[in-house]
Amino acid sequence: MTLKRSVSFIAAAAFSLNAMAWQPSGKVECIAPSDPGGGWDFTCRSAGNVMRDLGLIEGTVQTINMAGAGGGVAYAHTVSKRAEDDKLIVAASTATTTRLAQKQFPGLDADMVTWVGALGADYGVIAVGKDSQYENLNQLLDAIKQNPKSVKFAGGSARGGWDHLKVLITAKAAGADKLPAIPYLSYNNGGEAMTQVVGGQVDAFTGDISEVTGFLSSGDLRVLAVLADERLPGEFSDIPTAKEQGVDAVGPNWRGFYMPKGASSDSKAFWVEAVDTLYASEQWKKVMKANGLIPFHPPADEFDSFVEQQVQDIETLSREIGLLK
Amino acid sequence: METLGFLMDGFAVALTPYNLMFALFGAFVGTLIGCLPGLGPANGVAILIPLAFTLGLPPETAMILLTSVYAGAMYGGRISSILLNIPGDEPAMMTCLDGYPMAQKGRAADALAISAIASFAGGLIGTIGLIMLAPVLARFALSFGPAEYFALFLLAFATLGGITGKNPMKTVIAATLGIMISTVGIDISTGTQRYTFGVLELYEGIDFILAIVGLFAISELLFFVESRMGGGRKKMNVGKLTLTFKELVSTVPTQLRGGVLGFISGVLPGAGASLGSFISYTLEKSVIGKKGTFGEGDIRGVVAPEAGNNGASSGALVPMLTLGVPGSGTTAVLLAMLISLNITPGPLMFTQNADIVWGVIAALLIGNVLLLVLNIPLVGFFVRLLSVPPMYLLPIVTMVAFVGIYSISNSAFDLYFMVAFGVAGYFLRKLEIPVVPIILGLLLGPEMEKNLGHALVLSDGDWSILWASTLAKCFWLVAGLSLVLPYVVGPVLRRRMNAAMKESPASD
């Protein structure tokens, strides 16, 4: 027993020693699959800065913006042209897995890259205007169960996108049927959707917690539930989770990285370790706090299966509502 | 009072050395662009968009730069009107009428100085109007639902031709082209891909910045290559400034009238700066009556249109900032820039992006002062720039456009698209099909479609929701009128504008 443990300890030590032995030299790139200014751009730039400050890499991480097809152009680029690049990471989020699940990157699958790790998440919320008749999540869901058309939702993603899926995940967890009949109005972004809910034109808002902070503090919006396992820290601790209201629905919009599948195992070990170290650092905690990110970091060996599971869940749900055939 | 507080915050944003530097740069480049015949404010702003991306400017700085270019171009348009009898841009057309005769009488310096002051007065009045009207309208817009927005966009399309537009059919063709291009990409209300043919680059649709830079900047280059490749113009003599203080004071009522009229015509969708300068000129002519020497170099004939078009340029920002509906071609380009910066115009912008909105408004005020300072002592410099051969300017503009577009997305695909739009723009303009409606179709088409879809979801498929509210009914009424009026009033107005142009002494 002791022997076995010490052997595995030595093996682990050797492995990590080996992993630390490899260090990227020269130019390191982080692809942000969007125009400058978006969430992926933020992931690359802020993670790159903190990695440099921590001395994890020599030099700087250069952020490359590669917009197109909601991340599809960057995904195809990574799979086809950079398949063995050791010094490349690509920013990803739930939007990436959603599109993969819905086959919106033609001919590309989630297992064509290596998923490195997550650096935090933005959790989904269901909210209504301050004058709404719905005081809690169950009142709203009961209304949907009686008549799926009775509550109209507005969100910042396309139909079938993550904001829409959060409504469906919640309604499904509450046992509602006729999911496709629930009206969903898609807007260009969360702000536009919220304006309609605050203005009283649409009944409910689906989005992420970071989007609602402004209207939450002004009192124009009432958040019925946050789709997280536990209550969120800080100023959000008053908001009940869906789970504590008896609805088992969770919707984390995580932010993290993937890298080319064909990269050397040394480099993969390095990047997983680097993301772990980055996530644990004080500097990153500050970045998370300043940008409304909530802790979310599945252990390195579980992240891959987490992504796989999320892709599968979204695929099943998309089939149920007829988005996928 | 709340507004005043916001404005002070805006000044804090606009007065940082970094932003001030870009405001000055924008005002300078804008004046230069404005005074080059053919290059109008819309083209000017379109050319500068790639630069804003290349430099990686933060949103407020990018917007300050572009609005300064906009204001600067409005100032600059008058220079070539006065000196060459060629309007630098369309709104400066009316300035030719009395400006050129003044120059011929040897009072070019006076005409340039007084028109700079009139531009300042007009710009100031317009910006004050913007400050007072915009927040009110923004709050009001909160009560707009999908049906009201649909009717509003319909109204915007109906007024596209404008009262002074030449050929309504060509405007319709252009707008339709824009709407067609806008359907490429994912349809957000169903989640399906349209016209993408499995090409990944097309999945997010065609970026309207590409279309704008292509249609305006690249096609302009092609025109330059065609018509003016070669030497510059002869150097012009401006003469000495003889303007007296008394003369200046005597034009103050004209400045006020022009600025207010210009602002009002700027706010109205579709009317724009050209109408602003035309109305203020004709009003001034009828107010002064026989006492004036209009058409022969009357100083008030220079003041009125300049105050009018600069007032209109600020007025046109009101519907763009508050409702997301641009009142003119240039504000359409500015709207595209805002959307690219991930800022949604409308009621929310005034609270969530207050620093940007008020920063831009404050920058307009500062810009006007800067422009006045630039335009009086430096006028000789701009005049000399008029004689710079385009062969030096062309490569710079081309380089900025290519580097800028490439730096947005790092995609050579986008460059091909931009060039394709440029070539298409060249041919469309040869056919006298206006390009501004294409941009508006591209920008507003998806919004109109989205709101139509939303309205029908909310009403469960009942079309009558589209005209259910009083507000929506009003929009439908005005839209109907805008379609009919050009046929009734348009010919009369155009005849009078042409007649006014003919009265001026012919040249070249």
The residues of chain A scoring below 70 in pLDDT are: 1-21, 36-37
Q: Tens digits of per-residue pLDDT, B298-307?
A: 888 889 999 9
Euclidean distance between CA atoms A279 and A288, whole angstroms = 10
Q: CATH 3.40.190.150 region(s) of chain A?
A: 15-121+254-320
Q: Tens digits of per-residue pLDDT, A83-131?
A: 888 889 999 999 899 989 988 888 888 889 999 999 999 899 999 999 9
- Quote the pLDDT of residue B390: 64
DSSP codes of every residue in A48-97: HHHHHHTTSSSS-EEEEE--SGGGHHHHHHHHHTSTT-TTEEEEEEHHHH
Give the pLDDT band (50/70/90) at residue B224.
confident
Q: Tens digits of per-residue pLDDT, B348-380?
A: 788 777 888 888 889 889 989 999 988 888 777
Q: Which of B368, B341, B313, B326 is nearest to B60 (CA)?
A: B341
Give the residue-averaged pLDDT of B290-295: 74
Question: What letter does residue A222 receive in the DSSP assignment?
Answer: E
Euclidean distance between CA atoms B81 and B99, whole angstroms = 7
B352 contacts chain A (CB < 8 A): yes
- Quote the pLDDT of residue B422: 93
- Give A-chain residues touching B186 at CB under 8 angstroms: 70, 158
Q: Which residues pair with B193 in a beta bridge?
A: B186
CB contact under 8 A, A323 and B191: yes
Spell out the SS3 assignment of B440-507.
HHHHHHHHHHHHHHHHHHHCCCCHHHHHCCHHHHHHHHHHHHHHHHHHHCHHHHHHHHHHHHHHCCCC
B342 contacts chain A (CB < 8 A): yes
Burial of B230 (0-12, 13-18, 19+ CB in 10 A): exposed
Name the pTM for this structure. 0.78
- Quote the pLDDT of residue A14: 45
Amino acid at position B104, single letter: Q
Nearest to B203 among A70, A102, A195 (CB): A70
3-state secondary structure of A178: coil
| Helix (H) or strand (E) run with residue B240 in it | none
- Give A-chain residues touching B352 at CB under 8 angstroms: 191, 214
Q: Is the pLDDT of residue B230 over 70?
A: no
User: Are the C-beta atoms of B201 and B410 separated by less than 8 Å?
Assistant: no
Q: If you compute the radius of gyration of chain A from its CA atoms, what whole number of angstroms results? A: 21
- Give B-chain residues touching A324 at CB under 8 angstroms: none
Question: What letter does residue A241 receive in the DSSP assignment?
Answer: B
Burial of A8 (0-12, 13-18, 19+ CB in 10 A): exposed
B191 contacts chain A (CB < 8 A): yes
User: Are the C-beta atoms of B291 and B181 separated by less than 8 Å?
Assistant: no
B330 contacts chain A (CB < 8 A): no
- Relative to beta strand A61-65, strand A28-32 is parallel
Q: In chain A, count of helices (H) and strands (E)?
A: 11, 9
Q: Maximum CA pair distance of chain A? A: 69
- Return the residue in B55, B405, B409 with the most chain A beta carbons within 10 A, the one to mutate for interface testing: B409
Tell me if the domain spanning A15-121+254-320 has CATH number 3.40.190.150: yes
Amino acid at position A234, single letter: G
- Give A-chain residues touching B409 at CB under 8 angstroms: 35, 65-68
- Quote the pLDDT of residue A37: 64
- Quote the pLDDT of residue B126: 92
What separation in angstroms does the CA of B182 have from each of A34, A70, B449? 19, 17, 10
- Give B-chain residues touching A67 at CB under 8 angstroms: 204, 408-409, 411
- Return the residue in A31, A108, A185 with the most chain B beta carbons within 10 A, the one to mutate for interface testing: A185
CB contact under 8 A, A65 and B143: no
- Quote the pLDDT of residue B504: 47
- Quote the pLDDT of residue A81: 85
ipTM of the shown complex: 0.73
- Quote the pLDDT of residue A223: 94
Give the residue-averaged pLDDT of B152-169: 72
Instruction: Find, in chain A, the residue whose alpha carbon is nearest to that of B55.
Output: A36
Q: Maximum CA pair distance of chain B? A: 71
Q: CATH 3.40.190.10 region(s) of chain A?
A: 123-245
B451 contacts chain A (CB < 8 A): no
CB contact under 8 A, A199 and B454: no
Class of domain A123-245: alpha beta
Q: If you compute the radius of gyration of chain B from its CA atoms, what whole number of angstroms results? A: 22
Euclidean distance between CA atoms B157 and B159, whole angstroms = 5
Tell me how crowded residue B373 is: count the other CB atoms within 10 A of its CB: 14
Tell me how crowded residue B496 is: count the other CB atoms within 10 A of its CB: 12
The residues, ordered by sequence, that sit 6+ positions from B398 with a Cβ below 8 Å of its Cβ are: B221
Give the residue-averaged pLDDT of B166-182: 86
**Tokens standing for residue A180:** 């496709």
3-state secondary structure of B232: coil
- Quote the pLDDT of residue B192: 78
Give the residue-averaged pLDDT of B442-453: 88
CB contact under 8 A, B201 and A187: no
